[in-house]
Amino acid sequence: MKLSARLALVLLFISCVAEAQISSAPADAPDKQPDYNAIIHHFFEMVKAGKCTDAAHVLVDTNPQDTFNVVKHEDLAVPLEKIEDALGSFQDFKPLVNKNINGGIGYVYGLAIYERNAIRFEFIFYKDGSSWRFLHIDFNLDYVPEIRDLAGVHIPVTPPVPVQIPTPTPTSAPTPTATPKPSTPPGPPAPSSSSAPQQSSP
């Protein structure tokens, strides 16, 4: 066999091997990384299964380069367990805002529905190359003003009317008044020395 033929066979063999390696790439290869919506979905799947620690790992483990440990999985798992204790089991997550900002920031805001109430969740991710990294999570029960803003409803805030509380007038014991004495009816004037009759001398 000529050298050119052998070289052609070698190149064909290398090409076949490379193609096989590409087709058998793992599911988590860079071009197969889940986007932030899939990460959130997986997060709530673990919450629904009652695996709050695993749910925390779903988020935190997307960012192994977080050397500052801004959020630790145990710091996130404990509040998730307390939410479940207070509100019952998780039912569903309803995204209200989902924005991919400039292709590099993922923002999701929505309500997580539990048995006894709903709670607001907020997620922020950033894209590092082809991978989405967890950056921020927040949850709160005080979300009514935020929902109104999202709905474009602006309820005027009426200042409370001050309640006028009457000031009690200080009271004191009534001042006793002197009882007037009964008046004496007028009688004949009493004789005076100047008006007494003079006796004549004998």
Give domain limits for the chain: 34-151
> Which among 142, 141, 144 is positioned nearest to 87, based on CA atoms?
141
**Most distant CA pair in the chain, distance:** 206
pLDDT of residue 154: 81
pLDDT tens by residue, 67-93: 555 567 778 899 999 999 999 999 999
pLDDT at 164 over 80: no
* Confidence category of residue 42, pLDDT binned at 50, 70, 90: very high
Percent of the chain with pLDDT over 90: 43
53, 84 Cβ separation under 8 angstroms: no
pLDDT tens digits for range 123-160: 999 998 889 999 999 999 999 999 999 888 887 767 77
Q: How far is the C-alpha of 87 from the C-alpha of 110, rounded, in Å?
A: 17
Task: Give the pLDDT of residue 28.
Answer: 42
CATH level 3 topology of 34-151:
Nuclear Transport Factor 2; Chain: A, (3.10.450)
